[in-house]
Amino acid sequence: MKKKFPISVHLALTLAALFVALYMIFLYAPEEMTMGEVQRIFYIHVPAAWTALLGFIIIFVSSIVYLWKRSQFADELASSTAEVGFIFCTSVLVTGPLWAKPAWGIWWTWDARLTLTFLLWLLYVAYLMLRNYLINPARAANLCAVVGVIGFVDVIIDYMAIRWWRTQHPQPVIGGGPNSGLDPRMLATLLVSWVAFVFLFFLLLRVRLGLAQMRRELGDIRHILAFRASED
């Protein structure tokens, strides 16, 4: 893995993608007619939301693998993804109200989409709290895997909320039926921005996974030292 795709190449690609995305957001995408330039928040808000949902899908799959196979890597992948996904979900909850205020005149409303996204953020928080505050690591891994599986229900309902119910949040612009759609330049900008966010997500995930593996190595060495001390 390291030989095929070194982290330095990953970093360079991420920076390049972010640079292209920023160029497209501010210089290529046309200004939206009713909201004006504040609509450009869309190009970070939506990709961050998609990436936060993607994060929980990874947690869901790796939690199932952990519960089924007891794979340590699956557990480390889930816990690392939870941390990185939490950052993206926080970004969604910060950019959302900053867009809502000029567009709707209010910072927040408890409609289905917003509430379910807030619930997703709380699930990330619950996952990380369980991971960090439970003393027994095996118990923490089990409980976190259960949260990862049950929490996935929220991901599905959150994704479908604007399709099932009429909400204050805008209806889907992609895959939302015959009346949905975007200007081709806006669509291209959105997709490039999402690709950049996905690159950034996996870059952060790789670094965070490295930390988890380093922590495991430390635990192993401590065991060896404790064993030697008990022998002496």
Q: Which residues bind other proteins (CB under 8 A)?
A: 36-38, 40-41, 44-45, 48, 87, 90-91, 94-95, 98-99, 101-102, 200, 204, 207-208, 210-211, 214-215, 217-218, 221-222, 224-225, 228
CB of 107 to other proteins, least distance (A): 11
**Closest separation in Å from C-beta 104 to other proteins:** 12
Residue with Cβ nearer other proteins (146 or 221): 221
Q: How far is the CB of 117 from other proteins (least distance, A)?
A: 16
The CB-of-92 to other proteins minimum distance in angstroms stands at 9
* 112 vs 200 by CB, closer to other proteins: 200
Rounded to a whole number of angstroms, the minimum distance from the CB of residue 99 to other proteins is: 7
> Closest CB to other proteins among 190 and 200?
200
Q: Return the number of the residue (145 or 200) whose C-beta is nearest other proteins.
A: 200
DSSP for the chain, written as a single string: -TTTS-HHHHHHHHHHHHHHHHHIIIIISPPBTTTBGGGGGHHHHHHHHHHHHHHHHHHHHHHHHHHHH--HHHHHHHHHHHHHHHHHHHHHHHHHHHHHHHHHS-S----HHHHHHHHHHHHHHHHHHHHHH-S-HHHHHHHHHHHHHHTHHHHHHHHHHHHHS--SSPPPSSSS-TT----HHHHHHHHHHHHHHHHHHHHHHHHHHHHHHHHHHHHHHHHHHHHHHHH-
Joined together, the tokens standing for residue 188 give 């291209």
Nearer to other proteins, 112 or 204 (CB): 204
